[in-house]
Structure 1
Amino acid sequence: MPDVRDTADSPEVARQRCLDFASMHSEVPVYAAIVAGMADDPDAIDLLCRAAPGQARPVLLLAALHDLAMRRPDSPAAHWFSPTARPAQDPWPDVRRAITEFHDELSQVVATRTTQTNEVNRSTYVRAMVARACADLPDTPITLLELGASAGFLLNIEHYRVAVGDVAFGPLHARVRCEAENLGSAVELRIPPIARRIGLDADPIGPDDIDDLRWLRACIWPEMPGRVERFDAAVEGLRDHPPTLVRGDMVDALPGVIERGDDHLVVFSSWAVTYLPRERRPLIARTLDDVASARPVSWVTAEPPGCIPGLPDVRDDHADADRLTGTHVGLRRWRDGAEIAPELLGTVHPHGNSINFR
């Protein structure tokens, strides 16, 4: 059997990612059961491996199946993608029938689409990690720049009501409300004024792109209450407060989207850098190091363990492919042209349901 470490998108890695997902996500039993079926089905793994480099992950095939269910509500597995679905029986036989019947259609979606950040409740940990990045510069306005911004939901954090434990900030009557349980130390949510909001994405989505918004909705896990409603409210918020979205590679286009200024540049990502080849990830820090001579710079990340170079986190193996076994929050800062020692701030639930900062 080939070594799992040889190829980041090999069938072995794709299968391991399915096993990781199925074991870690008991809170979504239908999805966990579907992904467990994927792991043991060579045809499903083959379909998943038709994805673009770095995208061979179970969430992509789940999104393709959810999209199919929305477009074809009479398809064999459509009822399993309803928010009211419950695993009274194994969903995999119906899903397997859908994969067989709509194989070419699903293959096209898997090969041409990517999973995109769209979980608005991640604003809980994004606001918390931005606040931590700005702790030493509490009054300096910030330029907020997101890598892998998708539609830019997380760039609107100042317009949402965000609560972590018993700490809350944001407009009292905001239509978008995000909540997280605090499992660790006290979390600060106060952030400086945001002067600019910029999102960089290979395929950004505007608030009126109907087909692309349907795809974002397909990326939502329907078993988690409130996610669809929060998504719809956030789409309306984007129409009222649109950030600047730039189409481009998050490494190659990054220097060009960083505007001159003396405000605090805060770059963040949430399950985005993990899709980059490992050898390209240090280039982000190199770009930030170059601009740090003229302004304070921070890079905060919520990514799988070991994903971000330079952080003092401990990996659970030495594989070249990221294991999807958690979400580590890291902070790298440059002040007066020099980098401060990087920090691992803690861990979070990947959808912002809980935060455990040190």
Structure 2
Amino acid sequence: MDIARVFTEEYGRAVSVLVRVFGDIDIAEEAVQDAFAVAVRKWPSDGLPPSPAGWIITTARNRAVDRLRREATRDQRHAEAALLHVPVPVVEGPVQDERLRLIFTCCHPALAPAARVALTLRLLGGLSTAEIARAFLVPEATMAQRLVRAKGKIRDARIPYRVPDDADLPDRLRAVLAVVYLIFTEGYGAGRDAMCGEAIRLGRQLAALMPDEPEVDGLLALMLLIESRRAARVTGAGELVLLADQDRRLWDSALIAEGQALVRKCLRRNQPGPYQIQAAINAVHSEPPTDWHQVVLLYDQLVALTPTPVVALNRAVAIAEVSGPAAGLELVEALDLQRYHLFHAVRADLLQRLGRTAEAAVAYDAAIELASQVAERDLLRRKRPS
């Protein structure tokens, strides 16, 4: 049964439609979740409906109306029930995609930047609170509170559910790009092909919508270049394969060519930004053998623009390839990323390359404990010295 696929592909669009119809995030989200719960019960025996997305939206709208009827006063019930017959409105404006409209709406400047991203991941991607917390490297309880506050802010401040004007789009762009990329990385890490495809689709729409924004092209290039390696990333047995060990004959040459062309377009503009630099790094990786000196130079630029511990960790990996594992380990040891499994994985690999196998085993154990994906844990167990 394809319920999981339909959920990944259609959850965000269904929530978007219901938010516009009812003007309430909680009602929309709960109604769509109820509709999928009904689908889990009915579809295995009844079969997949001809239009699964339409079925979900119709069922969710009916569920929302039922809830409003139960909660409404007698004088309100006829008005609320009339919503059953209200067609989905056609919204004019620069953003013509349901899900893209929801992203821009959630990325309202009245919300804190992290809250914008988290809320959109929840509503558009259907990600659980735990999954979003992992993406932000914060405890699940912290993320749950952040989501509640964001919804409350929208409700209490009466933030309108409308398409932003052309002049407002650039101010929302940073959070929008972050949302699209997190949808992609979550899908890529969990092997959710449909989620990655949705992120790339949104990236293409953003590029068409905002052709003068180089960071949009940078994000699209980054996703395409990473996606090009998907077929080589996992073996037939489901085992993860590190970039250095991948069979490059399995890489998608068309996606690589498209991504590289976008990187060259960004270079001609000479307006570097974080996504453009990350795309350039992946473009270097797409031309064997990897020029690690060039990768280090690009990470130097990226650290200057986004001086985060995760970027510093990736730079340390590149430094280790150029100057040796001891130089990389010195940089890694200075980082505060104890909750991040890749911090321990990188540290373990460098320790193992230095012959410090007992310390490497302890670091691998920490990485295994924190890794959320089964395939990642299996890879770390295979690399751990016995």
Determine if the TM-score, normalized by the shorter chain, exceeds 0.5.
Answer: no
Quickly name the TM-score band, shorter chain normalised: under 0.3
Greater Rg by CA = 2
Structure showing the higher strand proportion among its residues: 1
TM superposition score normalised by structure 1: 0.27
User: Per chain length, whose mean CA-contact separation is higher, i.e. which structure has more relative contact order (CA < 8 Å, sep 6+)?
Assistant: 1
TM superposition score normalised by structure 2: 0.26
